[in-house]
Structure 1
Amino acid sequence: MTSLITIAAQYTAERKSAEVTDWAARIGWVVGLLIFIALVYWLMRQGWKWRGSLQSGLPELPTAPGDPGEPRLTMTGRYHGSTTAGQWLDRIVAHGLGVRSRAGLTLTDAGLDVVRPGAASFFIPRDALREARLDKGIAGKVLAEGGLLIVTWEHGGTLVDSGFRSERAAEHNDWVTTLNHLISTTEGAR
């Protein structure tokens, strides 16, 4: 029995890791890894800027009128981004449309006011609204079927899909119905 304990003690004593003796090589690997991470971040940033310059033809975002009228619907939640209509992965980054943020939406007879704390707020005039629907994804954000409210609108001759998610997902159906009704009455008046 004593010999087994002695053998076990010797075995565990031999299993120690080797002392680190080549500090220069370890430091070199750490510095190399940090440089690689910085390079990848810089390339991602350059890609974002490049995409923004490609989309620089989009005009400035409209702002809400002084008196937009009585709110038909209001919603708080998240803005998940905008894409070229029908192309759910073609993110639009010009004028801050690519920045995800919290959002407050207010629908009036004048249009849809999107207030984004910490990001550029914008207004979608009533005559620019084209469609509202429920979908499952936009610009890299995928949720359960019907988890996103997608509003299609025209801006500078380009059809844009903007994705929103309410804090209370049950509101989405009311928004789709009300927006599509507002759009159909606007098209009838044209």
Structure 2
Amino acid sequence: MEYLWPTLFAIALVLAIFALMAAGWRSRKRAQAAFPELPAVPELADAGLTIPGQYVSTTKAGDWLDRIAVHGLGVRSGAELELHPEGVLLQRSGGVPLFLDRESIEEIRTEGGMAGKFVEKDGLVVLTWRLGEELLDTGFRTRKAEDRSRLLAALEELTRTNTEKNG
């Protein structure tokens, strides 16, 4: 009986923290209501490379803490990254597919973390891309470390081809 009140207080505190977190997420979604719609996934040629891993999140470019809440872009999930001649397709478990047209990809780099997911140095592949006027960073972590170098080489080839066509 002597632990009843401290236990009830701890439970109430945890519930209050979860309620505040949910309210913050809803507020972020309302603030981002005018965010552009995601591009539709076009008819794609066969994938040249498919790599399983984890979709980390999408943030405003350069601000790895400013998660995009709308369209499910701020929710971490399992994913498969498919590389097509037209661009990159992220098939997210429980989320809508995210297609990054190759012309929209502006930079590819590695990072040690973003938006609540921190890993070893250069453990995340980050694609900086443009959606309308918004410049965004999308993070992906390969399931196997050896897949990261294959993915980076293939992404560099995709964007180099893009640069050669536009340059």
1:26–1:143 Cα change, 3 Å? closer
Larger RCO: 1 or 2 (CA < 8 Å, sep 6+): 2
Conserved in 1, the CA contact under 8 Å of 2:32 and 2:69?
yes
Q: TM-score, normalised by structure 2?
A: 0.90
State the alpha-carbon separation in 2 of the partners of residues 133 and 181 from structure 1: 13
Q: Deviations over 1:127-173 (max 9, x none)?
A: 11111112111112111112111111111211111111111111212
In the alignment, structure 1 residue 139 sits paired with structure 2 residue 119: no
The one-letter code sitting in structure 2 at the alignment partner of 1:148 is L
State the alpha-carbon separation in 2 of the partners of residues 156 and 56 from structure 1: 14
**Match of 1:11?**
none
Conserved in 2, the CA contact under 8 Å of 1:69 and 1:108?
yes
Correspondent of 1:60 among 37, 45, 50: 37
State the alpha-carbon separation in 1 of the partners of residues 121 and 142 from structure 2: 14
Q: Deviations over 1:8-53 (max 9, x none)?
A: xxxxxxxxxxxxxxx4x64344333322221111111111111122
Correspondent of 2:60 among 84, 91, 105: 84
Greater fraction of residues in strand: 2
Greater fraction of residues in helix: 1
The one-letter code sitting in structure 2 at the alignment partner of 1:107 is L
The one-letter code sitting in structure 1 at the alignment partner of 2:74 is G
**Match of 1:93?**
69
Query: How many angstroms does 1:72 deviate by?
Result: 1.9
Q: Which runs of 5+ in 1 are unaligned?
A: 1-22
**Percent of aligned pairs sharing the same letter:** 35
SS in structure 1 at match of 2:148? helix
User: Once structures 1 and 2 are overlaid, which stretch shifts more, 75-84 or 56-65?
Assistant: 56-65
The one-letter code sitting in structure 2 at the alignment partner of 1:100 is R
The one-letter code sitting in structure 2 at the alignment partner of 1:111 is G
Conserved in 1, the CA contact under 8 Å of 2:41 and 2:97?
no
Q: TM-score, normalised by structure 1?
A: 0.80
CA RMSD of aligned residues (A): 1.7
State the alpha-carbon separation in 2 of the partners of residues 136 and 41 from structure 1: 27
